[in-house]
Chains A and B, each alone.
Chain A
Amino acid sequence: MTNGWNDIKNTDLVVIMGGNAAEAHPCGFKWVTEAKAHRGAKLVVVDPRFTRSAAVADYYAPIRQGTDIAFLMGVINYCIQNEKVQWDYVKAFTNASYIVKEGFEYSDGLFTGYDESRRDYNRSTWDYEFGADGFAVVDETLQNPRCVWNLLKKHVATYTPEMVERICGTPKDKFVAVAKMIAETSAKDKVMTSMYALGWTQHSKGSQNIRGMAMLQLILGNIGVRGGGMNALRGHSNIQGLTDIGLMSNLIPGYLTLPTEREADINAYMSTRGFRPQRPGQMSFWQNYKKFFVSFQKSMWGAAATKDNDFAYDYLPKLDVPAYDVLRAFDLMHQGKMNGYFCQGFNPLLSFPNKRKLTAALSKLKFLVVFDPLETETARFWENHGEFNDVNPASIQTEVFQLPTTCFAEDEGSLTNSSRWIQWHWPAAEPPGEAKTDIWIMAQLHLKLKAMYRKDGGKFPDPIVNLHWPYRLPNDPQPEEIARELNGYVVENVPDPNDATKLVLERGKQIPTFGVLRDDGSTACGCWIYAGIYTEAGNMMARRGTADPGDTGAYSQWAFSWPANRRILYNRASADINGKPWDESRKLIWWNGTNWGGFDIPDIAPTAKPQDVGPFIMNPEGVSRLFTRGMMRDGPFPVHYEPFESPIANPIAPKVRGNPVARVFRGDMEQFGDSKEFPYAATSYRLTEHFHFWTKHVWVNAVLQPEFFVEISEELAKEKKIASGGWVRVWSKRGSVKAKAVVTKRIRPLVCDGKTVHIVGIPIHWGFTGAAKKGFGANMLTPFVGDANIETPEYKAFLVDVEPIAGAQV
């Protein structure tokens, strides 16, 4: 989230599209109801289903799953055509005026540089013109036909209301009604917030769905302001923290990246990072990259990370592919190229697509280790559960370890929510039986490996035996000790350059902020964006101050919000080019002539002149990007692509199937079905009564929603003679499930490109363990393909067939 849960109360218009906040985040959704009650805000829901969010919306418009980009580009087109643009914002804070290189073009669904054989682009033309001074060339009059604004205008012109109806199935009048409500927030005193989640990410073009809305929000001037923003609702309680701390193939904590194998030393590594400003005077915050990186290396390897060994640069693994994401991991496993796998509080056998492939993959492992507080299907993938898990244990040679862990009630530490609040919690009970904390288990594994490598040697033991392990009890590190590491501390005294008798930084002290980090090895910091969580003043995550000056919803004394306790990102953009708030009633920070002040910690330096320094400090431009250069694999502007399994051909580019650069593994393309064989457009989702695959173990939740079902329209039910509450079989090219049918008015057939499209809704919460009735996972059906940029699987749009069946199952 750029903003936060409480801030939603400050909005005028809530658009829920690509998510279902009332269903998946009821207590966060509260702030929508507050905005409605206290500001007279309106709620718009755009979704294939009339959801629980839609139940309390002021306006609902249906849309076919997988067509959000067409809708969003249509709204941008509407805003441009109807002059609903926050011009002062667009001119000051976006790259609308930047000139794009000659050679960059778009036609028939593809940008310049496409290579079909590699399913990839040569992206060299997707860039700005740079002047002799090294800065990007701009035309502030926006007259140049090659400026971003004019290219954008041309790009979105295709998406007329008629085209939107043709692609999305949203009746034109409903689309225009929504576009109109959105467009009104281009006024300086009107704000819209976007609340989205997996409804946008779980597509082969998920990243571009989100970009589409981000671009719209920029055009309307709704980023950085109270009540505005791009608000990813996010999933699990610490999904934000795990990403912040970089538990991903290619990440280092704080959104630094692992080296690739082409980067032989730290200089080569730094040459593609630590971007210099592309416009004069901009902060381009990644210029500090090396300080964060070296401090991270010191935190990892302590005294073994020295200037002489490039701060242990070679201790880091170097990547040969962009990432070993979960789809690649299971594909490698399926090919027999992996031997061991650890699942820490994760249930991939239900979480990832194409269960049949997953089972085959896990069966090829030598060993599988599962840590969890609860039973999981993954830990028992080898166990026969009839039609729900039809395997032969004798043929599966995998050794499986199931290790019991503590749950929240028995555990201490911090979690980071989607508002980026890092909150400390305390345990209330002893773990059951012999359950242990994950930290304890990881410590034992490390210490055992370390002991074996010390004793017996082996391949490159250095990073293991030298891992900095400074805990009072090495086999039982305490959460507070690790929190202090994450925050960062001073390794060597740093004298004051102006007064040698004084120290700027004193050895052993916790650092107060990432601003003091250094690239010479004198500071250590586990995750630079978490600097400030545990300072000399104590555990800032445990703060419980409820004061909220100005009633902004910032609550800046409650816990700690990264970065630097900032509550709204890009808050500089809440004020105009001279530092005056766009809307006095919603002011956030402002310039008083000499410095910035207000209700939040400013993004930019407190004394940076408003006319000089742009709000988008992480971008070398200092402004936001309507055109994103070569940073996304599938284009600098979003394009509507159909899902890989789609009921119709792409009306704007009939020859392109799916996202043209999405990665498809060998064998998976053959497992995509077409609309002749599988006529219905399916989508999978969560229900409010359940949380993924956990709450089927929770008695009360099992009562509230006991049994697997699918949802279909009354029209489809009539056509297929399916009774509500009766049994159906639903199948895709990859598998088949049996479910109860819920026949509902909340799903209606749509007409897309002249064809009637029926939608089948498939909730995800059942499996073969737990208190709820046994049921099939939706991932029996879902396709094994991910987003072109970040590889999130396409769970939201695929094809199935459905038929009524007799009788009950086991």
Chain B
Amino acid sequence: MATLQSQDIVRRSATTFTPPAARHQIKVAKLIDVSKCIGCKACQAACLEWNNLREDVGVNVGQYQNPHDLTANSWTLMRFTEWVNPETDNLEWLIRKDGCMHCEDPGCLKACPSPGAIVQYSNGIVDFVSENCIGCGYCIKGCPFNIPRISKADSKAYKCTLCVDRVSVGQAPACAKSCPTQAIVFGTKEAMLEHAAGRVTDLKSRGYKNAGIYDPPGVGGTHVMYVLHHADKPQIYASLPNNPAISPIVGLWKGTVKYAGMAALGLMAVFGFMHHVVAGPNEVTEEDEENAKKLKDAAE
């Protein structure tokens, strides 16, 4: 039986009170060293096997990436980019393992309107609790990395759990364990930062002067971090956001629900608003963001 229980939870979605978090677990992190990744997809295979998930067999669309995007079953995906370094004119094959970043300040959790459908444990793992999920997809909107996907089978949102079932019995996530070249490492966040620093030193000695760690402050840091050879350009790694941050809409939603819940007033108005901004268009436009900011400012 899992050992992560309510007192391990530090945050839960659509809940205004702060869980007691009586237990303090050591913060964990997974480090993905893109410079060591050979794109073998062992992590994808291990993830599917460990979580007892399978995909439909797809087709080739002119690339190595299969499936072609994250899905409700494929919680991790190797994304391949052929990039010619303008400084050296050499081809670099940038292969980034994509998946949930387990943000310290999780946008999905903040966006989630269903109480307890998304929780964060004191070790930093952000987990989806499917029983509580209503399949609204707000978590996707709230995620600065575009990670969660809704399952066609049960209309609930799914993503990487950081193998919380393994971590809670002292095992590394399945992807990290399988990785043949130690491109994925798992441990305490502190140990991972130290390991990453060593890797950055090595890369700099090999001429990658902009090598660095990706642990973006805009989301409070992440429990899945990258070592990048070109940390000054995260964007070249299959559009890894340069400065990810939670959309202001999400901040507004959290403020409003608290207010609305307490007063039990204007409930439907809030729904109407949220329905429009969040569940409406698939893409959040700049205009939406701007309006949301204004509304938020007004509400506060």
Q: Which residues of A contact B (CB under 8 A)?
A: 22-23, 26-27, 29-30, 33-34, 36-37, 40, 50, 52-56, 58, 60, 688-689, 699-709, 723-726, 740-746, 771-773
Interface centre among B36, B64, B199, B205 (most CB of A within 10 A): B64
- The docked-state distance in angstroms from the alpha carbon of A773 to that of B61 is 13
Known: A30-B182, A33-B182, A702-B57. A688 touches B66 (CB 8 A): no
Given known pairs A26-B181, A744-B82, the reply for A703 and B66 (CB within 8 Å) is: yes
Cβ contact within 8 Å between A773 and B82? no
A27 to B38, CA, bound (A): 11
Q: Which residues of A contact B181 (CB under 8 A)?
A: 22, 26, 29-30, 33, 56
**B62 near A700 (CB under 8 angstroms)?**
no
CA distance A706 to B55 in the complex (A): 11
State the CA gap A117–B41 with chains docked (Å).
Answer: 52
**Contact, CB under 8 Å: A704 / B93:** no
Q: Say which residue of B82, B180, B183 sits within 8 Å of A745 (CB atoms).
A: B82
**Known pairs A26-B38, A706-B66; A55 contacts B95 (CB<8 A):** yes
Indicate if the CB atoms of A709 and B60 lie closer than 8 Å: yes
CB-based contact A706/B91 at 8 Å: no
* B54 at the binding interface (Cβ < 8 Å): yes
Listed stretches B42-50, B243-251, B287-295; interface member: B42-50
Smallest CB gap from B53: residue in A? A700
- CB pair B180–A26 under 8 Å, yes or no, is yes
**A50-B91, A50-B93 known; A703 and B54 CB under 8 Å?**
yes
* Docked complex Cα distance between A22 and B58 (Å): 24
A36 to B208, CA, bound (A): 15
Residue of B nearest to A28 (CB): B180
Q: Is the CB of A771 within 8 A of B180?
A: no
CB-CB under 8 A for A688 and B57, given A40-B205, A743-B62: no
Contact A746 B66 (CB under 8 A): no
Contact: A703 with B58, CB < 8 Å?
yes
Identify B59's interface contact among A22, A704, A744, A773, CB under 8 A.
Answer: A773
Known: A22-B181, A29-B181, A688-B41. 15 other contacts (CB 8 A): A29-B180, A33-B183, A699-B57, A701-B45, A703-B66, A706-B58, A708-B60, A725-B62, A740-B59, A740-B62, A742-B60, A742-B64, A743-B62, A744-B82, A746-B82
Which positions in B face A, CB cutoff 8 Å?
35-42, 44-45, 48-49, 54-64, 66-67, 82, 84, 90-93, 95, 180-183, 199, 202, 205-206
Q: Tell me which residues across on chain B come within 8 A of A740, comparing CB atoms.
A: 59-62
Given contacts A701-B45, A742-B63, contact A772 B57 (CB under 8 A): yes
Q: Which of B35, B38, B41 contacts A22 (CB 8 A)?
A: B38
Instruction: Please indicate the chain B residues that have their CB under 8 angstroms from the CB of A23 in the complex.
Output: 38, 40
Q: Among B60, B180, B199, which residue has its beta carbon within 8 angstroms of that of A707?
A: B60
Looking at the assembled complex, report how far the CB atom of B202 sits from the nearest CB atom of chain A, in whole angstroms.
7
Question: Within the complex, which residue of A58, A701, A704, A726 is in contact with B62, where a contact is CB–CB below 8 Å?
Answer: A726
Q: State the Cβ distance, A706 to closest chain B Cβ, in Å.
A: 5
Interface SS of B by simple majority: loop
List 21 A-B pairs, Cβ < 8 Å. A22-B181, A34-B182, A50-B91, A52-B40, A55-B37, A55-B95, A56-B35, A56-B37, A688-B38, A688-B40, A689-B40, A699-B54, A700-B54, A703-B56, A706-B59, A706-B60, A707-B59, A724-B62, A725-B60, A725-B61, A740-B61
Residues A52 and B57 in contact, CB atoms below 8 Å apart:
no
> Measured between alpha carbons, how far is A778 from B59 in the docked complex, in Å?
18
Query: What residues on A are CB-neighbors of B49 within 8 Å?
Result: 700
CB distance from A417 to the nearest CB of B (A): 15
Q: In the assembly, what is the distance between CA of A23 and CA of B40, in Å?
A: 7
* A52/B41 in contact, CB under 8 A: no
Q: Which B residues touch A773, using CB under 8 A?
A: 57, 59
A178 CB to closest chain B CB (Å) equals: 14
B40 touches A22 (CB 8 A): yes
Cα of A30 to Cα of B202 in the assembled complex, Å: 17
A745 to B206, CA, bound (A): 23
Nearest Cβ on chain A to B295's Cβ, whole angstroms: 43
Report whether B48 and A55 are in contact in the complex, using a CB–CB cutoff of 8 Å: no
**Chain A: CB-nearest residue to B54:** A699
B58 — nearest CB in chain A belongs to which residue?
Answer: A706
B67's partner among A703, A707, A742, A743 (CB-CB below 8 A) is A703
Minimum CB–CB distance from B77 to chain A (whole Å) comes to 10
CA–CA, A705 and B44, complex, Å: 12
Q: How far is the CA of A706 from the CA of B58 in the complex (A)?
A: 6
Bound form: Cα–Cα A55–B49 in Å = 26
Contacts of A53 in B (CB 8 A): 38
Q: What residues of chain A lie closer than 8 Å to B64, measured between beta carbons?
A: 705, 742
> Distance in Å from the Cβ of B46 to the closest Cβ of chain A?
9
Distance (whole angstroms) from the CB of A389 to the closest CB of chain B: 20
- Return the chain B residue nearest A745 by Cβ: B82
Closest Cβ neighbor of B47 among chain A residues: A700
Is there contact, CB below 8 Å, between A29 and B60? no
**Closest residue of B by beta carbon distance from A50:** B91
CB-defined contacts of B62 to chain A, threshold 8 Å: 709, 723-726, 740-743
Provide the residues of chain B in CB contact with A688, threshold 8 Å: 38-41
Residues of B near A723 (CB, < 8 A) are 62
- Residues of B contacting A703 in the complex (Cβ-Cβ under 8 angstroms): 48, 54-58, 66-67
CA distance A768 to B36 in the complex (A): 36
Query: Which residue on chain A has the smallest CB distance to residue B44?
Result: A704
Q: Would A745 and B182 be within 8 Å (CB), given that A704-B66, A707-B59 are in contact?
A: no
Docked-complex contact B60 and A745, CB < 8 angstroms: no
Bound: A797/B62 CA distance, A: 23
A699-B54, A724-B62, A744-B82 given as contacts; is B41 within 8 A of A689 (CB)?
A: yes
- In the assembled complex, the CB of B36 is this many whole angstroms from the nearest CB of chain A, namely 6
A27 cross-chain contacts in B, Cβ below 8 A: 180
